[in-house]
Structure 1
Amino acid sequence: MTAIKHALQRDIFTPNDERLLGIVNVCKAGKKKKNCFLCATVTTERPVQVKVVKVKKSDKGDFYKRQQTWELRDLTEVDAKDASKENPEFDLHFEKVYRWLASSTAEKNSFISCIWKLNQRYLRKKVEFVNVSSQLLEELPKAEESVPSGESQSVAGGDEDALDEYQELSTREEQDIEGMMEMCEYAISNAEAFAEKLFKELQVLDGANIQSIMASEKQVNILMQLLDEALGEVDTIEGKLSSYEEMLQSVKEQMDQISQSNRLIQISNTNNDTDQNYMDLSKGHIRALQEGDLTSPKGIEACINASEALLQCMNVALRPGHDKLMAVKQQQLLFAELRDTFARRLTNHLNNVFVHQVTILLQHVCQHSELGHDQSSTLSQHTAELTLPKHSPLHRDLLRYAKLMEWLKNTHREKYEGLSRFDVFEKFATLPRKESALKQETESLHGSSGKLTGSTSSLNKLTVQGSNSRRSQSSSLLDMGNMSASDLDVADRTKFDKIFEQVLSELEPLCLAEQDFISKFFKLQQHQTMEESDGGTPSRIPPQDMVRLMMNKIFQSIETELNSLIALGDKIDSFHSLYMLVKMSHHVWTAENVDPASYLSTTLGNVLVTVKRNFDKCISGQIRQMEEVKISKKSKVGILSFVTVFEEFAELAETIFRNAERRGDLDKAYVKLIRAVFMNVEKVASESQKTPRDVVMMENFHHIFSTLSRLKISCLDAERREAKHKYTDHLQSYVINSLGQPLEKLNHFFEGVEARVAQGVREEEVSYQLAFNKQELRKVIKEYPGKEVKKGLDNLYKKVDKHLCEEESLLQVVWHSMQDEFIRQYKHFEDLIGRCYPGSGITMEFTIQDMLEYFSSIAQSH
């Protein structure tokens, strides 16, 4: 191994300025043995680079070559496999794991020890050694660790011992050696003489050093004496500092006592100032609380300032023990008496204000109630009068007391709750009424909903007459006399829509304004309030729930009256549910955008459920009417009534639901209705005795297809295509079946010919069949001269005219289709004659031109 090591150093590493420090003979573990050498090297130039080099013999075997090189700083882990047993395997973890098998365990351990020493000396990032014996990982000498890495980390030796003993010369040392060697010309040629000269000079220097040390002994003694004197002075200074510290400690205690006395004096002065400043209510405030004017703006402002000052005095945070002072107790009793006195005055005044405001509101309602109770007036006349009284002036007058209500809420919870329960409205409802109309309006009013109730009462008094049509008549609503509902047009139906929209438009701002007033007046925006539960014990209720309770007391009849109005509209005309669904959905959406938790949003949402239920009932009713349709056995069917009703419904719905929020509900209803229409058209067509089934299907599906094409309802595109398909199929079926009658024998003859061909008889041999020979063919053709054909077509035209209805106007379409089908059959007959009777010279008694003239003249004559 030593010879190989010297050879590698000479041939491979010396030319690259590298030193070989460790070597191991290895092969890759688990593979066919191909020996190579792993070498640990360092560069001789700074900065020092440490590498692991893989060296292998050339294929010819006469020299070594470098195969692969890794930087030691890229090595992350060395795994010796087993630290207690001898094992020649080990792993080196670079960018990937390299597994090696050493020729001996001793070589492996020597190489790993060399790697560990190089890692400790040259690398900041330490390599992790796994399964390595602690004996191999010996610490480097401390003297070597103290050497700066930049000056003493090159390697001079050629083996592992040299790694620990070698110390690189510094630059200055190199210069000194070079200068010394230049002074002696024979330094290189005669090394022994040069070394002897250096030894003599070293002895001279050693003698000079000893003399210098002996000469400086006196000065060392003087220095030691000075140090002893300095230590004595230090002891003296420390004694003086200790005495000073004792004096400062006594001064500190005295200053602490003075500071404590000053603090007590300051606290006493502060307490006196607090009692004087914060528990002293001015005479002006006391006078305002006792007899202040609660009707004028200035008086209200003075009462507000006085109540706030009183509350501030009552809430002063007293020092511990101050509450036992007689002066403080007297002030507290005075404040409590002032609080109770002002609370009673404020409560009585607000009750009087409430009663006065309600009286004004009732007077306004009574002035407009005559129109609502006029039995002869029509709803068209009511439309212009459907207005609700505005409460903004009343709110403005009451909001002046909002801060006082907040004070009452913070000081007298019971009186505040008495006002928040609106007892004044319950008491006012018991007052005597001289006129029944005023009583009805007041009872329905119950907090500003009277005008709406009066309007719906007028609606409920409308005379609604029943009829056999799908909708009832309403002369009082539409002022249309005894006109049936089936004659109503869109303009007539929109009258109810205008009334319904006006009711909602009047109700919406009133409810929102009332809720906003309640929240501001009773200060329910941020704080929780108290409300007695059923058991009589106070319980916490969130502000939004308290607002909802108050609003329900005021507008408790709104939901009932709206449902009554909805029921009336549905009774007049079930199609009104379309208008109401769109309008109510829009107002619910608007209310939710303003305040999703508002009373109006909740109430309108509940009413919307009723409207949606009526809409679904309208759709179900139409489907039920389709299923109950009966046709006359003596008259032709024509366009079925429910097909016309669907068209009317679709036209009205498209007008109403344009850009509506509830378009999805209409699309679902469309799908249900159209499927019912399709199913019941087929049912009626199958049951029809007077009109052929194909005619019923053709006409009605043509009408449905035309309606859907005109209205362009996107969700019914598939049904529109299906309707067209059914129409064309039954048109073709009706034409083919009808054309078989004018040329019945001729049709039967050629059907027999086609049957023989289908059975395998060759076309040119059909004429040899007894029933289908040339003689029989001529006999059948002679039975259908031009006059007979025209006569048969004329009879066919009359029969088709009897089958078809006038409103759909399909006669000319059917006749033209029959003409095309007749020409097709004629050409088919000629083709069969040419193929089955070749060379016979047999032709039809009439030509295609003759047929065109027959069809044209028949159509013009009728």
Structure 2
Amino acid sequence: MAKSSADDDELRRACETAIENKQKVVLSMRVAKCTGMWNKAGKLGRGSAMAKPRVLAISVKTKGKRTKAFLRVMKYSNGGVLEPDKLYKLKHLSKVEVVSNDPSGCTFTLGFDNLRNQSVAPPQWMMRNVDDRNRILLSMLNICRDSGDLPKVVGIDIVEMALWAKKNTQAIPKPQQTSFQEGFTPVVITETDMQVTVEKELVSQAEEEDMEALLDTYVMDIGEADAFSERLKRELQALEAANVHAIMENETLIHQVLHGLEVASTCVEDMDEWLCMFNIKLRHMREDIESIEAGNNRLEMQSLNNKSLVEELDKLLAKLRMPAEYATCLMGGSFDEASMFDNMESCEWLGSALSSLEVPNLEPCFAKMRAVTEKHSELENMKSTYARRACDFLKKYFTGLVDFMLNDKTYFSQVGQLKKPDHADLRYKSRTYGRLLQHLKSLDKNFLVPLRRAYCSSMNMLLKREAREFAIELRASALLPRNPIVWLEGALNANQSTYEDTSTISEVYTLMLTVFIPVLADECSFFTQFMCFELAPPVPAEDDNNNNDDAGDKGYAGKPTLDMGALNESLQELLDGLQEEFFGLIDWAYKIDPLRCISMHGTTERYLSDKKFDQSGFVHMLLDDMESRIGMLFSRFVDDICHQIERNEKNLRQVGVLSYIPRFAVLATRMEQYVQGQSRDLVDQAYTKLVTIMFVTLDKISQADAKYADVLLLENYAAFQNSVYELANIVPTLVKFYHQASEAYEQACSRFITTIIYYQFEKLFNFARKVEDLITSINPEEIPFQLGVSKSDLRKVIRSNLSGVDKSVAAMYKKMQKNLTSAEELLPSLWDKCKTEFLDKYTVFSQLVAKVYPAENVPGVPEMREILASM
């Protein structure tokens, strides 16, 4: 017989290792766990899951005199190592059932009465053979019998199992390694602790012998069952009759027993009456005790409630109590600097007192009490009185500080001395009451509105006075040119050296911004913090490009708070009218030198791009207005120049280079000196507008005299190119117009040269054109026979145009020289182009003559080239 896995010591040690809680494994066997149903053929159904290898181990744990037994289900991990899966206590084993559908009888189920989910079918454990099944079941039944509670056994004959146990009490042979059911891994085990013991059998030896003797006595065939049944009935009747006879023989004893029972019954009835009486008394006593306990509980609860009520009333009284020193300070105290500490303490107490009398800091049930409402009204009245007194004092205080500075001339610029605004002393004195303003806002921020308005009004007068005095002294100290500068007017030979230096104007404007823009930004920032405006945190520098362009929201992230509208109104009152002082300085600079608008525009752009002024929204708006003002004045200047240029077309006769061409170069050169890397867009827009008007005006003037139109165009376009050549190398906008003038110059030159050539050799090249037109439709041999292009016509043309070709060429040169106003500059290049154009046309004529009139002699192309070269 194959060795059982219950005798595998290695398997038992592996189970003990997996348990790891110092329990001893008395039996371990490999089994197969299956959850499917057996069909009638004795096989697992199709829908059932595949059997899974498991190990059932019975372990015991000893603690003192108590011993606990457990049934453990072990499973194999991915690495083939045993690990715990399920744990059952054998004292809860209530049922052992062998599956009837398994013909081998090796499959059984175990039922436990402490499982939570009894609706789920228990797993089925399938053993290798019946011996292994009997071995593990007997081990569990023996342990359960020792604990005093045997489970219900279904599907197993107890007598048969007892006989098997008796038969297998001999020593189990040494284990042999064998293979288990397919799908399971065999493990070598030992037989230690796994031998079945029958010291406490289900049926004793004597009982078993009596049963065997009884069965041997009544060994019958199946046919004698009726006789056996009759015999048993007769013996049962005989036994009953003998029992009745024995009872009748003992009648005296029975009477004695009955008498004893009556006496006992009487005693029991008396005792029942006593117990009823005691029960009634105990019930009354229990009711009295409950009544006493209820009264004690009510008294204890009342005592606790009274204690809590006293504590709450003490707290409420503490909130309602007003210190005398605080009341005196709030209702009639002084606002001197020495008394500010007491004022701050009083304000803090008043704010906390008002907050403590409001829900949720105060219980809702107390909020409607008369004492609380009266005290709250008293505190509100005190708050209003104190806030009104503080606001009146601060308005007079701030106004007095500013009036003192306005009356002292040493705070402002004077003749020969520029005075930079210095508000350090004013801010130092104002900060003394900074905390007072914060407390006023916490008490009632509506009281701050008139105070802010008074502060802004006083500071606005001071700032305007400082800006006005500073600007006046700046203008007075500036070195100005003696004569006003007028662009695009005056002599034709005007150049850059005729204009005086006006850099002082730019320096004045730059100094004005350098001094006042930081001052105004600091004033806005100080006012925002000093007057307790709640704003969102500043936007980081990298996110500035995503800010809203609204002046009131610049420099603040997220949605504006409720104070943003009030802040915008206050800042507008603070800075209102200051732009006029800056505008006056800009207008003054424009009247002296309009081109200084370029440098002023660049300076303003530099301040606009400075991130530290973004948080001062109205300072940013002031800079925007100044930039717009400068741009508007510069556009007016450009429009005036355009108007001066357009007036040239009204003249009856225009020859030579127009006056605005060289003057534009002077103007552009000076503008580039003022740009200095800034205001590029402003200057480029001016270039575009001016040059466009110049070219349009030039075209209109040229159309007035068609005879000299090309000469006027080429001379002026050439003059434009020569005058802006150096600037076009560094200014991209002028490069575009330079190329435009170059193309217009080439077109005018081509038209002018063609006119000069045709003036002397019109018949010659008209004849050539007729021949070119005919050669496309008829053969060259037939052309001499056509009207107007015969050989005699050709000879007439040659005699009239080529007989004195050197004189004709000289006349052509003189004609060109006569028409050009600036002959010294343009004549050499134009004459070279004219000779080249004439030679090209004559080459075409010579080729046509050689092709159509081969017998005719005309001067050759080399000969004509020599004649032209000699001129």
Question: Which of 742, 754, 777 matches 1:736?
Answer: 754
Q: What does 1:299-698 align with in structure 2 at a 5 Å threshold?
A: 299-313=339-353, 315-317=355-357, 340=385, 344=389, 347-348=392-393, 351-364=396-409, 368-370=413-415, 385=418, 388-411=420-443, 416-422=448-454, 446-454=461-469, 478-481=480-483, 484-486=486-488, 492=501, 494-525=503-534, 542-572=562-592, 574-590=594-610, 594-595=613-614, 598-630=617-649, 632-639=651-658, 641=660, 643-644=661-662, 647=665, 650-651=668-669, 660=678, 671-688=688-705, 692-698=708-714
Q: What does 1:247-286 align with in structure 2 at a 5 Å threshold?
A: 254=296, 257-258=299-300, 261-262=303-304, 264-265=306-307, 267-269=309-311, 271-272=313-314, 275=317, 279=321, 281=323, 283=325
Is the 2:367–2:373 Cα contact (8 Å) retained in structure 1? Answer: yes
Q: What does 1:739-778 align with in structure 2 at a 5 Å threshold?
A: 739-744=757-762, 746-748=764-766, 750-751=768-769, 753-754=771-772, 757=775, 760=778, 762=780, 766=784, 770=790, 772=792, 775-776=795-796
Q: Structure 2 CA distance, aligned partners of 1:175 and 1:676?
A: 121
Q: Note the C-alpha offset of 1:295.
A: 3.8
**In the alignment, is residue 783 of structure 1 matched against residue 803 of structure 2?**
yes
Q: Secondary structure at the match of 2:432?
A: helix
Q: Structure 1 CA distance, aligned partners of 2:329 and 2:366?
A: 31
Q: Note the C-alpha offset of 1:805.
A: 7.0
Code of the residue aligned with 1:798 in structure 2: it is Q
Q: Note the C-alpha offset of 1:250.
A: 7.9
Identity of aligned residues (%): 14
Code of the residue aligned with 1:795 in structure 2: it is K
- Kindly provide the CA deviation profile for residues 412-446 of structure 1, in whole angstroms up to 9, marking residues without a partner as x: 767644422218957xxxxxxxxxxxxxxx9xx62
Code of the residue aligned with 1:507 in structure 2: it is F
- Kindly provide the CA deviation profile for residues 69-103 of structure 1, in whole angstroms up to 9, marking residues without a partner as x: xxxxxxxxxxxxxxxxxxxxxxxxxxxxxxxxxxx
Structure 2 match to 1:222? none
Q: Structure 2 CA distance, aligned partners of 1:704 and 1:796?
A: 24
When normalised by structure 2's length, the TM-score is 0.55
Is the 1:698–1:731 Cα contact (8 Å) retained in structure 2? Answer: yes
Q: Note the C-alpha offset of 1:403.
A: 0.8
Structure 1 match to 2:65? none
Structure 2, unpaired ranges of 5+: 1-31, 37-43, 52-96, 109-122, 134-155, 165-200, 209-281, 489-493, 537-559
Structure 2 match to 1:792? 811
Q: Structure 2 CA distance, aligned partners of 1:716 and 1:143?
A: 109
Q: Structure 1 CA distance, aligned partners of 2:409 and 2:703?
A: 66
Code of the residue aligned with 2:703 in structure 1: it is S
Q: Note the C-alpha offset of 1:401.
A: 0.8
Is the 1:580–1:611 Cα contact (8 Å) retained in structure 2? Answer: yes
Which structure has the larger Rg over C-alpha atoms? 2
Q: Note the C-alpha offset of 1:735.
A: 1.9
Code of the residue aligned with 1:304 in structure 2: it is M
Q: Structure 2 CA distance, aligned partners of 1:720 and 1:143?
A: 112
Q: Structure 1 CA distance, aligned partners of 2:765 and 2:383?
A: 117
- Kindly tell me: are residues 458 and 205 of structure 1, through their superposed partners in 2, closer, same or farther at Cα, counting changes over 3 Å? closer
Q: Structure 1 CA distance, aligned partners of 2:801 and 2:368?
A: 133
Q: Note the C-alpha offset of 1:765.
A: 5.8
- Kindly tell me: are residues 488 and 330 of structure 1, through their superposed partners in 2, closer, same or farther at Cα, counting changes over 3 Å? farther
- Kindly provide the CA deviation profile for residues 730-780 of structure 1, in whole angstroms up to 9, marking residues without a partner as x: 222222222333445544554555455456361696499546467536634
Q: Note the C-alpha offset of 1:629.
A: 2.9
- Kindly provide the CA deviation profile for residues 42-94 of structure 1, in whole angstroms up to 9, marking residues without a partner as x: xxxx999x9xxxxxxxxxxxxxxxxxxxxxxxxxxxxxxxxxxxxxxxxxxxx
Q: Secondary structure at the match of 1:448?
A: helix
Code of the residue aligned with 2:702 in structure 1: it is A
Is the 1:623–1:676 Cα contact (8 Å) retained in structure 2? Answer: yes
When normalised by structure 1's length, the TM-score is 0.55
- Kindly tell me: are residues 407 and 773 of structure 1, through their superposed partners in 2, closer, same or farther at Cα, counting changes over 3 Å? closer
Code of the residue aligned with 2:480 in structure 1: it is L
**In the alignment, is residue 699 of structure 1 matched against residue 699 of structure 2?**
no
Is the 1:420–1:522 Cα contact (8 Å) retained in structure 2? Answer: yes
Is the 1:405–1:522 Cα contact (8 Å) retained in structure 2? Answer: yes
Q: Structure 1 CA distance, aligned partners of 2:124 and 2:839?
A: 120
Q: Structure 2 CA distance, aligned partners of 1:613 and 1:482?
A: 20
Structure 1 match to 2:833? 817
Q: Note the C-alpha offset of 1:344.
A: 3.2
Structure 1, unpaired ranges of 5+: 1-45, 51-116, 125-141, 154-166, 178-200, 217-239, 372-383, 427-441, 463-475, 528-539, 856-862
- Kindly provide the CA deviation profile for residues 586-629 of structure 1, in whole angstroms up to 9, marking residues without a partner as x: 434447x6446722223433454444444554555554544443
Is the 1:456–1:561 Cα contact (8 Å) retained in structure 2? Answer: yes
Is the 2:711–2:819 Cα contact (8 Å) retained in structure 1? Answer: no
Q: Secondary structure at the match of 1:390?
A: coil
Q: Structure 2 CA distance, aligned partners of 1:245 and 1:833?
A: 155
- Kindly tell me: are residues 421 and 771 of structure 1, through their superposed partners in 2, closer, same or farther at Cα, counting changes over 3 Å? same
- Kindly tell me: are residues 844 and 349 of structure 1, through their superposed partners in 2, closer, same or farther at Cα, counting changes over 3 Å? closer
Is the 1:637–1:688 Cα contact (8 Å) retained in structure 2? Answer: no
- Kindly tell me: are residues 791 and 329 of structure 1, through their superposed partners in 2, closer, same or farther at Cα, counting changes over 3 Å? closer
Is the 2:710–2:752 Cα contact (8 Å) retained in structure 1? Answer: yes
Code of the residue aligned with 1:513 in structure 2: it is D
**In the alignment, is residue 725 of structure 1 matched against residue 727 of structure 2?**
no
- Kindly provide the CA deviation profile for residues 534-559 of structure 1, in whole angstroms up to 9, marking residues without a partner as x: xxxxxx99423323333333332123
- Kindly provide the CA deviation profile for residues 370-428 of structure 1, in whole angstroms up to 9, marking residues without a partner as x: 56xxxxxxxxxxxx94x6523233112211211112233444767644422218957xx
Is the 2:813–2:831 Cα contact (8 Å) retained in structure 1? Answer: no
Q: Secondary structure at the match of 1:760?
A: coil
Q: What does 1:12-51 align with in structure 2 at a 5 Å threshold?
A: none
- Kindly tell me: are residues 547 and 284 of structure 1, through their superposed partners in 2, closer, same or farther at Cα, counting changes over 3 Å? closer
Q: Structure 1 CA distance, aligned partners of 2:335 and 2:125?
A: 108
Code of the residue aligned with 2:483 in structure 1: it is G
Q: Secondary structure at the match of 2:607?
A: helix
Is the 1:578–1:656 Cα contact (8 Å) retained in structure 2? Answer: yes
Q: Structure 2 CA distance, aligned partners of 1:264 and 1:703?
A: 111
Q: Note the C-alpha offset of 1:448.
A: 1.0
User: Aligned Cα RMSD in Å?
Assistant: 5.6
Is the 1:281–1:310 Cα contact (8 Å) retained in structure 2? Answer: no
Q: Structure 1 CA distance, aligned partners of 2:754 and 2:659?
A: 24
Q: What does 1:211-226 align with in structure 2 at a 5 Å threshold?
A: 212=203
- Kindly tell me: are residues 635 and 258 of structure 1, through their superposed partners in 2, closer, same or farther at Cα, counting changes over 3 Å? same
